[in-house]
Structure 1
Amino acid sequence: MEIRPVRTEADYKAALKEISRLVEHDPDIGTPDGDRLDVLSTLVQAYEAKNFPIDPPDPIEAIKFRMEQAGLSPKDLEPMIGKRNRVYEILNRKRALTLPMIWRLHKGLGIPAENLIKPPA
């Protein structure tokens, strides 16, 4: 049961194949196969984070996505952003988010603050 670092595309594919095989057998936690699955999954996660990074979403797109998920209208954002015309200025990219707006959106909508501070596209 040799486990090696995942450094190359070939290592990555081999690890994914082994993970797939292990998942089919659904090993219990704490068993040798369960531990192997856990370690391989961690190695694959680290490889993917390094080689296939995912950029955080655009702040305005993140707000619009959360609005759509929760069925919110621009009026619902007024407590977090300000008067309705200010909400539309933000959503139409005519005005930048301020730090107080970012914190209120973070708390009110649960959008990670680091996503909201990214400069809009």
Structure 2
Amino acid sequence: MATELKPIRTEADYQNALVEVEQLWGAKSGTPKGDRLDVLATLIDAYEARQYPMDPPDPIEAIQFRMEQQGLSRKDLEPLIGTRARVAEVMNRRRSLSIEMIRRLHEHLGISAEVLIRPTRGDEAA
């Protein structure tokens, strides 16, 4: 088998781990090769999370994504955000979400409150 497993600390370590994962891909779970693949995947995930962190989505993007997932229209947001005009203002980034809107969106659509309280793109400079 290959070298001893150790944390991925450098880009070279990362590239070597990716090559090895490619060679081990498809190894049966519960076998030595399968176990090594699982551990390498975990190490790669940890390295990528440190080196290439992803920003959480903008609140409006998160709402749009959930609407697409659930086949919702803007009309479906009215009980959560308010009148048709209010929904348009929020979705067009002319009005920020209120605490009550955030609570309802979180409760009914399952969008993380942490994402919903972030400034929308464009608000950050204000």
Q: Deviations over 1:49-94 (max 9, x none)?
A: 0000111111112212222333322110011111111111111112
Could you say which residue in structure 2 is the equivalent of 1:27? 27
Tell me whether 1:78 sits opposite 2:78 in the alignment.
yes
1:1-121 → structure 2 map (5 Å cutoff): 1=2, 2-23=4-25, 26-121=26-121
Alpha-carbon offset, residue 28 of structure 1: 2.5
Q: Matched residue of 1:10: which SS?
A: helix
The alignment yields a C-alpha RMSD, in angstroms, of: 1.4
The runs of at least 4 aligned residues of structure 1 exceeding 3 Å deviation read none
5+ unaligned residues in a row in structure 2: which ranges? 122-126
CA distance in 2, matches of 1:120, 1:100: 17
Give me the TM-score of the superposition, normalised by structure 1: 0.89
Aligned residue pair count: 119
- Which moves more between the two structures, 37-46 or 98-107? 98-107
Amino acid at match of 2:113: A
- Which moves more between the two structures, 90-99 or 43-52? 90-99
Q: Matched residue of 1:45: which SS?
A: helix
Percent identity over the alignment is 62
Give me the TM-score of the superposition, normalised by structure 2: 0.86
5+ unaligned residues in a row in structure 1: which ranges? none
